[in-house]
Chain A
Amino acid sequence: MADTPTTDFLDAEVIARLSRLQVHSRAPMIGTVSGMHRSPHRGSSVEFAEYRKYVPGDDIKNIDWRVFGRTDRFYMKEFEADTNLRCHLILDTSASMGFAGPGAEPKLSYARRMAATLAYILVHQGDAVGLQNFSSHVENELPPQHNAAHLKNLLDLMGTLEPKGETEIVTILHELAEKVRNRALIIVFSDFLTDPEELQECFQHLRYRKHDLVVFHLLDRSELEFKFDRPIRFTDMESNFNIVTDPVTLRDRYLDAMHQHLDRLKQGCVEHNIDYWRVVTDSGFEDVLADFLLARQT
């Protein structure tokens, strides 16, 4: 008998507080139903968009008769179309996401709580949410839907995720850019421990497909500070490669390499108008999400 997946990562109180905020797309979305997000197409919302001349075949119900009365010409009145969005939550579940410093929460666990909360908010505002987790390949994939049953399936899947395998984020994101044809909100949760130049190409690819891309870069405090006082055998969580070294002597160079990586990654995101969020896992995820949602309100 299979274990019942846990949904402990979903905090009802946090959801209650954050549900007053909504997830807005920063780019027009092409959805399947009417929603709260701007669409690139003209539609039937109450918000006036523009006039255009009547051409044969147009539905006469949209002719503005007041304008005809004043000008004796037929003009078609057009309105903005509001639609829902499709959000793809992309979760890195490679082994490195299982890392946690002393007393800290594993990065995957942290990312799962964020993703689950966002999924709940999105579904409850009528948007479709899908989930994809990957390591060296896509391991699970749920296409975006907006019903409550789907949300349950999505959360159940999240509860089963375990960190394992090596990261092939570059390949995975390129494949995603090809696969998702309609404009969507793509939120990636990862520690991005790969070449930032290659990552930038992925991001560029996704932006080329007109997706609204959000990147949550998850880091552990011990990775940022690298404070060790004696020689240590470091074992890579993904490849089991190990190295014995004195962190005291290495610390400067480690921090240099890390900051260089972070700076290049952030710079790439800024250049491609990608919403980049660096998250240290010892900070409260509710605050992180609140900041994220508030920034999206404008």
Chain B
Amino acid sequence: MGLNFQQGMLLWLLPLAALPIIIHLLNRLRYRSVQWAAMLFLLKATRSSTRRAKLRQILIMTFRVLVLLLFILALGRPKSGWGGWAFAGAPDTVIILLDRSASMEMEDPGSGTTRRELALKLISGAAEGYAGESKLVLIENVLRKPRSIQRAGQLHNFNLTTATDTAANIPAMMQAALDYMVETKTGRTEIWIASDLQESNWHPASPRWASLSSSMSALPQHVSVRVLSTAGDTPKNKALTFIEATRQGHSEDTRLVIDMSVTRDANAAESLPLTMHLNDGRVQKYIELEGQTSAFNQVLPLEDDSTSGWGYVHLPDDYNNHDNEIFFTYRRRQHQGSFILANNSTVARYMALAAAPAPKLLDQSATEVSPSMMAGMNTDEAAMLIWQAPIPSDKEEQSQLLDFIAEGGSVLCLPPGNPGTATLLGLRWGDTDVAPAGQPFTIERWDEREGPLANSSDGTPLELRNLAIKKRQAILDESVDTDAASYELAHFEADRKPFLAMRSHGKGRLYFLSSLPLRDWSSLSDGRVLVPMVQRMLYQGGERLSNTSVANSGEWDPGDENWVPLGKNEQKNPRWQAGVFQNGNQLVALNRPPEEDARETLSQERMMPLFGKVDVYSFSADPTDAKELEHEIWRLFLIAALLCMVTEGILITPPKPTTQAGRTS
């Protein structure tokens, strides 16, 4: 509680605040003496104004001292403690949003404390100040389920505050907090967000922020947000990111190709040992790094003709040991079948070509079926369904699609052309929109890191910028379920409406694409975007047919099944920890989501407006002095100094000259 100073040494200048008093005393000693005749008037004036003059003099002196004092304090960059808020009284409820994503495991080089540990220490210290007065509720980024905390000290020993290999979705956590406030009528509430402000976790471009802030400011109870930023200088850390592991070759020439990348802060060329574990074997190789991100692959021969297996690759320990390992599984390539259920036969033909461009070579098949025939269709051997028809309102048809996704399949919905009210996982089709002649809709930004639009393994981006969309159908997200919010993989440049949206459900994914591969709709039919996109969706959907899979930690739901970690002799929770897990003959490799390795952090200037009219305070955590939460308040001191200066200026302004009357020669 109280003030701390970032430039504490400058506080040695504080005695300078006494300068006005010293100058005043010196002046008193060095008064100019004047022989005066008209003492009669002087005495009269002194008698009537001595008290006021003294008071004025004292005020002027006080303000002068204050100006210097506040100015020196502002130079010292004061930081207000969490206690500074406590003057407002304890809130009824404190909701702690804890980001325990992998990036929060970054250690401070000086103290060795991770960002998560620091956040927990500061938050529990602050929460103890409200013990017995405020109800404490924890929402962490993996389960996003509100949990009551009896004592702030519990936070340190709670399994829901331990390290994870997941990514955080801050807007989704805010939504969970909002739902909790609405459901339980929390009274005056403070939301404490502990995060390293990683931009990929905050999704600042998401339209959800606008609805969140307006909903919160519309609540009957007062809600304020305090953001504890643990972002700081990133030490020299290296992160290993998994891209893909594919089994290639036949019979005796079987090999495993692992695509991965290393992200680091340095630019200088560097050699780094890479240790690879494959089944029971171990291989170490040196890789040469150039630039901040190096994508490369490693080829490991598969000695036996095994159909599946697993392994992991790791870098030497550094400041974040949660981003040094990747896990993988592999399997023999299996037949990838897909069903095209399209009302438009041209669309069906193009999609069939995209789903099986070389059926025999790639062991793929695409079957065109009328959407009305779906009820009697056997999808057991299919990896993907492509649906170009109105969203089925029939519950049986809907559950058939949802079950397919939940089992790991991919479903791609294409615009039916007419708007509909039926939703699938909260998504539905809106109005059709035609671009002005000669000015097609274009796509500027998309998720290049992962998903069906990700860059190729050598970093080449898909040609989305060259896509010309003449006609599109709006994708509307009406989901209320915060756990499965849609994610915009690409949006249009002009109005940021989604081009491709995705929702996870169970082990699979649902995609909504806003245009069709038809000449009057778009240039998708040239295949340069459509084919790789569909192929990746198909590959993802093939997971349901395989006994091995790769997924992102935190996004994969183990359900009630008993998944046992393989490899290292340690207990791991498949809900939020990376590793290879086995359940019977099924293997799953869980990796840290690739967006966790993104270095971009959200600046204060971009973060604060996200909360709209909700009161928000930002604090920065100092790992070297983790006594309390602090935020810089030097501006307040500077403003106060200026106000004092203005007041002093008013006080010393001489009165208006009095005009003299009388007969003078």
Residues of A within 8 A of B (CB): 95-99, 107, 191, 193-194, 219-220, 223-225, 228, 230-239, 241-246, 248-259, 261-263, 266, 276-280, 283, 287-288, 291
Question: B33 interface residue, CB < 8 Å from A?
Answer: yes
A261 contact from B36, B41, B661, Cβ within 8 A: B41
B45/A253 in contact, CB under 8 A: yes
Question: B650 interface residue, CB < 8 Å from A?
Answer: no
B662/A248 in contact, CB under 8 A: no
Q: Which residues of A contact B250 (CB under 8 A)?
A: none
Q: Which residues of B contact A291 (CB under 8 A)?
A: 665
A232/B34 in contact, CB under 8 A: yes
A223 to B661, CA, bound (A): 14
B45/A256 in contact, CB under 8 A: yes
Residues of B within 8 A of A (CB): 27-28, 31-46, 48-49, 52-53, 56-57, 652, 654-655, 658, 660-665
Least CB distance, B43 to chain A, in whole angstroms: 7
B31/A257 in contact, CB under 8 A: no
B53/A246 in contact, CB under 8 A: yes
A191 to B37, CA, bound (A): 9
B48/A253 in contact, CB under 8 A: yes
Given A244-B31, A283-B665, A255-B36 contact (CB < 8 Å):
no
B27/A231 in contact, CB under 8 A: yes
Q: Which residues of A contact B654 (CB under 8 A)?
A: 248, 251
> Nearest A residue to B56 by beta-carbon distance?
A249
> Nearest B residue to A279 by beta-carbon distance?
B665
A193/B662 in contact, CB under 8 A: no
A102 to B658, CA, bound (A): 21
B662 contact from A95, A191, A249, A266, Cβ within 8 A: A266
Q: Which residues of A contact B652 (CB under 8 A)?
A: 248
A211 to B38, CA, bound (A): 29
B660/A224 in contact, CB under 8 A: yes
- Complex A-B, nearest 3 residue pairs according to Cβ-Cβ distance, in ascending order: A253-B45, A99-B37, A96-B37
Least CB distance, B534 to chain A, in whole angstroms: 86
A276/B663 in contact, CB under 8 A: yes
A250 to B45, CA, bound (A): 6
A237/B41 in contact, CB under 8 A: no
> Nearest A residue to B50 by beta-carbon distance?
A245
A244/B28 in contact, CB under 8 A: yes
Q: Which residues of A contact B36 (CB under 8 A)?
A: 99, 234-237
> Nearest B residue to A244 by beta-carbon distance?
B31
Q: Which residues of A contact B43 (CB under 8 A)?
A: 243
Give 21 A-B contacts (CB < 8 Å), ordered by A residue. A96-B37, A193-B38, A193-B40, A223-B37, A232-B34, A233-B31, A237-B35, A239-B39, A243-B42, A249-B57, A250-B42, A251-B654, A252-B49, A253-B44, A257-B44, A259-B661, A261-B41, A262-B662, A266-B663, A277-B663, A278-B663
B46/A250 in contact, CB under 8 A: yes
Which of B41, B48, B49, B56 counts the most chain A CB atoms within 10 A? B41
A262 to B39, CA, bound (A): 15
> Nearest B residue to A99 by beta-carbon distance?
B37
Q: Which residues of A contact B31 (CB under 8 A)?
A: 231-233, 244
Q: Which residues of B contact A278 (CB under 8 A)?
A: 662-665
A223 to B398, CA, bound (A): 102
> Nearest A residue to B653 by beta-carbon distance?
A248
Q: Which residues of A contact B53 (CB under 8 A)?
A: 245-246, 249-250
B660/A259 in contact, CB under 8 A: yes
Given A245-B46, A249-B56, A263-B662, A258-B35 contact (CB < 8 Å):
no
A252/B658 in contact, CB under 8 A: yes
Given A230-B32, A231-B27, A280-B665, A249-B37 contact (CB < 8 Å):
no
Q: Which residues of B contact A224 (CB under 8 A)?
A: 660
Given A277-B663, A280-B665, A233-B37 contact (CB < 8 Å):
no
A191 to B655, CA, bound (A): 27
> Nearest B residue to A229 by beta-carbon distance?
B654
A253 to B34, CA, bound (A): 19
A225 to B27, CA, bound (A): 23
Q: Which residues of B contact A194 (CB under 8 A)?
A: 40
Q: Which residues of B contact A251 (CB under 8 A)?
A: 654-655
Q: Which residues of B contact A223 (CB under 8 A)?
A: 37-38
> Nearest A residue to B31 by beta-carbon distance?
A233
Given contacts A238-B39, A266-B662, 6 further A-B contacts (CB under 8 A): A99-B37, A193-B38, A253-B46, A253-B48, A254-B44, A261-B40
Which of B45, B56, B57, B652 counts the most chain A CB atoms within 10 A? B45
A76 to B56, CA, bound (A): 80
> Nearest B residue to A236 by beta-carbon distance?
B39
A254/B665 in contact, CB under 8 A: no
Least CB distance, A15 to chain B, in whole angstroms: 19
A98 to B664, CA, bound (A): 20
Given A244-B28, A249-B56, A234-B39 contact (CB < 8 Å):
yes
Q: Which residues of B contact A288 (CB under 8 A)?
A: 665
A280/B33 in contact, CB under 8 A: no
B39 contact from A241, A250, A259, A276, Cβ within 8 A: A241
A97 to B57, CA, bound (A): 33
A235/B45 in contact, CB under 8 A: no
Least CB distance, B555 to chain A, in whole angstroms: 75
Least CB distance, B62 to chain A, in whole angstroms: 16
Least CB distance, A94 to chain B, in whole angstroms: 9
A95 to B39, CA, bound (A): 12
Given A249-B57, A252-B658, A278-B662, A193-B32 contact (CB < 8 Å):
no
B662/A233 in contact, CB under 8 A: no
B39/A255 in contact, CB under 8 A: no
A223 to B46, CA, bound (A): 15
A223 to B35, CA, bound (A): 12
A99/B49 in contact, CB under 8 A: no
A233/B49 in contact, CB under 8 A: no
A255 to B109, CA, bound (A): 71
A239 to B43, CA, bound (A): 13
> Nearest A residue to B33 by beta-carbon distance?
A233
Given A234-B34, A257-B44, A287-B665 contact (CB < 8 Å):
yes
A191 to B36, CA, bound (A): 13
> Nearest B residue to A285 by beta-carbon distance?
B665
Q: Which residues of A contact B663 (CB under 8 A)?
A: 266, 276-278
Least CB distance, A93 to chain B, in whole angstroms: 13
Q: Which residues of A contact B28 (CB under 8 A)?
A: 231, 244
B37 contact from A220, A255, A279, A283, Cβ within 8 A: A220
Least CB distance, B346 to chain A, in whole angstroms: 93
A252 to B655, CA, bound (A): 7
Given A253-B49, A280-B665, A230-B44 contact (CB < 8 Å):
no
> Nearest A residue to B662 by beta-carbon distance?
A262
Given A232-B32, A251-B655, A252-B655, A258-B41 contact (CB < 8 Å):
yes
A99 to B36, CA, bound (A): 7
Least CB distance, A92 to chain B, in whole angstroms: 11
Q: Which residues of B contact A241 (CB under 8 A)?
A: 39
Least CB distance, A257 to chain B, in whole angstroms: 4
Q: Which residues of B contact A250 (CB under 8 A)?
A: 42, 45-46, 49, 53
Least CB distance, B661 to chain A, in whole angstroms: 7
B661/A237 in contact, CB under 8 A: no
Least CB distance, B548 to chain A, in whole angstroms: 90
B46/A243 in contact, CB under 8 A: yes
A225 to B660, CA, bound (A): 9
A160 to B111, CA, bound (A): 92
A248 to B27, CA, bound (A): 15
Q: Which residues of A contact B658 (CB under 8 A)?
A: 252, 255-256, 259
Q: Which residues of A contact B34 (CB under 8 A)?
A: 228, 232-235
Which of B49, B661, B663, B664 counts the most chain A CB atoms within 10 A? B664
Least CB distance, B388 to chain A, in whole angstroms: 88
Q: Which residues of B contact A283 (CB under 8 A)?
A: 664-665
A259/B35 in contact, CB under 8 A: no
A96 to B46, CA, bound (A): 20
A231 to B42, CA, bound (A): 13
A245 to B27, CA, bound (A): 11
> Nearest B residue to A106 by beta-carbon distance?
B37
A280 to B96, CA, bound (A): 81
Q: Which residues of A contact B46 (CB under 8 A)?
A: 243, 245, 250, 253
